[in-house]
Structure 1
């Protein structure tokens, strides 16, 4: 079994022949050394790292997975900006971080994966050593680049694979979120590894080799990604569906090949592979679900923050809590806020309830119900907010105040990806078999999930590498069509000349 598990690991040989991969990884290392030097100088914000660090310290001190009461006050409160002070005053008034997360009590508002990662770093490098967290994440970023290359080589070759490697090594958004002590860097590593394992399952199911060990390993990777950010769950589940219906997918897609002997709709091998992956995932969720059962009375693995997210991205925009918001949020939402002021259907639903002593999962369920009712009562507004979240997620540069260097780097890195992404995704989905269909639909589904709930650059960065693969697929197809057009034009010219 152990040897089978080792054989089921992705092929970590060089995705290109020769030293090119080493040069790309060296470039990625140099970029991360420069970014770490900037982190050493305090260039990058702490962001959600303070919250996760507090959870990590409580875990290390034996207090369990819970938030401290001190988190209801900003750091250096007397020096904090007015927006921060107002936000924390709101937290204290309702006795809940983010309005729902109750300090001093075991929490189910977040999943524990990233806090455990930070606890591991702190145990080696010292308590609340954010610089060490950034350094470890930047080092692990080399593995993220390599995994991205292993995904890319399944769809690209030659110069296009080289371009993918350069993008992976130097993507400014990925570098930024590896340097910030937040979930994005670690989640991207595990999320891409999960996609790679699912692609390997789609490739190996017809060959019936090492399916069980590969499926178990895939379930473990996806569970790790879920414990950092639950957004991994639907992408894993979708791969299990495709595995089960692999013969149908191969027949329907122009680029697919039905290699099954039966020619049926469902693949028994694929179904079992997906089932083993899901069962492995479920087993690894048991400790978390049982722990939450003792706290809430219900077996639950999803964090109780869906209602808070819906309020943040829908109702809060039309309340006093939005006043004095960050520059980017004001730029996107001020116009629609002014337009709909006094015109909302059921405006009472946008206000944050005056909670007293309700547990966080009760608060979240109340917020979820109220905001769903608000969205249904204002369907046109809901669609317009989704369109604004589309802009917020796929903007190629930050709308808040950043250095011109970072803004220009982001624009240069992502603009061409967004230009070629859509055609490349269509081409990959229809003409690169089940593997291409999975990659394209995983990116689309992940994006849609966030557009319907909460979106922004932090949510998008985990699909930057797959988006680049799809964009380069579109670029290659565009180049092929252009060459064919030029050759056809040349041939016509020759025929006209000889005529």
Structure 2
């Protein structure tokens, strides 16, 4: 079993030729179908739907526009520079706006491409799981087609399609998070320093988009230590390689942290939106079972945050995410 895992990951083809050809056909057909649905069909149906589809969300586009205009990393020209959003998706949007103008279609197309890339990586991950269980290097019977099914399930999951219709961070984040899972699996197989470094770089890039994966290493490190003896790996090598992974992630995140240190005096590697969302989530949970919908509760939580700022005499612009005129007030 161990030999087949190594054989799968080190040399040749991860997917055999038939599976790879079928996957490429699925991805090509999906690309054409999604371009037609997202760019042609959905815009004509939007007025008949009970909710809004499309558009740019969560203020990433505001920051990108201000960067292009020379106003700095801020949401509005007259407000302070912000830490509200991490820079990964902002910089991607800035590049798209520079090349194509503020084009929702460009953002939608890149989201679709991210989705296709994610589906391919999902197929690779699935293959790594089913390969040790197969009876031959080619997969043994119909099991060689197993990687196609989770990839297709992902491609046509309604939430994924919805994310691809708007200028939001989700598709980019999912691609990076899936890539992180792939590289974490590789380092489990090999315990090579280079695999840890690649996983660390991927972790850093993912955290530049959203800081959600920050706690993954805290759970992953004890697991690696506990399994070390059973797979013939020294704990010293695990500690050394894990340190290399952490250093790689830190190097990727350091420019953002230094920028934030220059603004606030604190070396912050994440965004400030966490406190806002934590307060909103707590408010919703406190009123769970009240029979009221989530969205009105979120609005009430936002109003409460704004009222607190007013009581403290903090100048701000009220919104779902309040915007401040001093970056230290935001922090």
> For this structure pair, what is the TM-score category when the shorter chain's length is used for normalisation?
0.7 to 0.9
For 1:114, the equivalent position in structure 2 comes to 89
Residue deviations 1:76-125 (CA, integer Å, cap 9, x gap): xxxxxxxxxxxxxxxxxxxxxxxxxxx62110111011010111112222
For 2:187, the equivalent position in structure 1 comes to 201
Answer yes or no: is the 8 Å Cα contact 2:187–2:196 preserved in 1: yes
Is the aligned partner of 1:276 residue 2:262? no
For 1:181, the equivalent position in structure 2 comes to 167
For 1:429, the equivalent position in structure 2 comes to none
Structure 1 CA distance for aligned equivalents of residues 304 and 97 of structure 2: 39
For 2:35, the equivalent position in structure 1 comes to 36
Is the aligned partner of 1:289 residue 2:252? no
Structure 1 CA distance for aligned equivalents of residues 11 and 57 of structure 2: 32
Answer yes or no: is the 8 Å Cα contact 1:54–1:67 preserved in 2: yes
Q: Secondary structure, in 3 states, of the residue corresponding to 2:89?
A: helix
Structure 1 CA distance for aligned equivalents of residues 164 and 13 of structure 2: 24
Answer yes or no: is the 8 Å Cα contact 1:215–1:274 preserved in 2: yes
Residue deviations 1:9-68 (CA, integer Å, cap 9, x gap): x76965432322222232233223222223223257335536111111112222221101
For 2:70, the equivalent position in structure 1 comes to 62
Answer yes or no: is the 8 Å Cα contact 2:39–2:105 preserved in 1: yes
305-314 or 293-302: bigger deviation = 305-314
Answer yes or no: is the 8 Å Cα contact 1:222–1:232 preserved in 2: yes
Q: Secondary structure, in 3 states, of the residue corresponding to 1:335?
A: coil
Larger radius of gyration: 1
Residue deviations 1:352-391 (CA, integer Å, cap 9, x gap): 33313265776667xxxxxxxxxxxxxxxxxxxxxxxxxx
Q: Secondary structure, in 3 states, of the residue corresponding to 2:195?
A: helix
Answer yes or no: is the 8 Å Cα contact 1:147–1:196 preserved in 2: yes
Deviation at 1:316, TM superposition (A): 5.8
305-314 or 53-62: bigger deviation = 305-314
Is the aligned partner of 1:172 residue 2:143? no
For 1:335, the equivalent position in structure 2 comes to 291
1:190–1:12: structure 2 CA closer, same or farther, 3 Å change rule? farther
Answer yes or no: is the 8 Å Cα contact 1:308–1:364 preserved in 2: no
For 1:72, the equivalent position in structure 2 comes to none
Structure 2 CA distance for aligned equivalents of residues 131 and 20 of structure 1: 31
Structure 2 CA distance for aligned equivalents of residues 107 and 354 of structure 1: 20
For 1:223, the equivalent position in structure 2 comes to 204
Alignment of 1:446-461 (within 5 A): none
134-143 or 181-190: bigger deviation = 134-143
Structure 2 CA distance for aligned equivalents of residues 177 and 11 of structure 1: 34
Deviation at 1:222, TM superposition (A): 1.1
RMSD: 3.3
Mind listing any 5+ residue stretches in structure 2 that lack a counterpart? 1-8, 47-51, 132-142, 294-300, 316-323
Answer yes or no: is the 8 Å Cα contact 1:67–1:104 preserved in 2: yes
Deviation at 1:191, TM superposition (A): 0.7
1:160–1:20: structure 2 CA closer, same or farther, 3 Å change rule? closer
Structure 1 CA distance for aligned equivalents of residues 147 and 30 of structure 2: 19
Structure 2 CA distance for aligned equivalents of residues 48 and 13 of structure 1: 42
1:120–1:16: structure 2 CA closer, same or farther, 3 Å change rule? same
Structure 2-normalised TM-score? 0.75
Q: Secondary structure, in 3 states, of the residue corresponding to 1:19?
A: helix
Deviation at 1:334, TM superposition (A): 4.8
Q: Secondary structure, in 3 states, of the residue corresponding to 1:351?
A: helix
Structure 2 CA distance for aligned equivalents of residues 279 and 227 of structure 1: 15
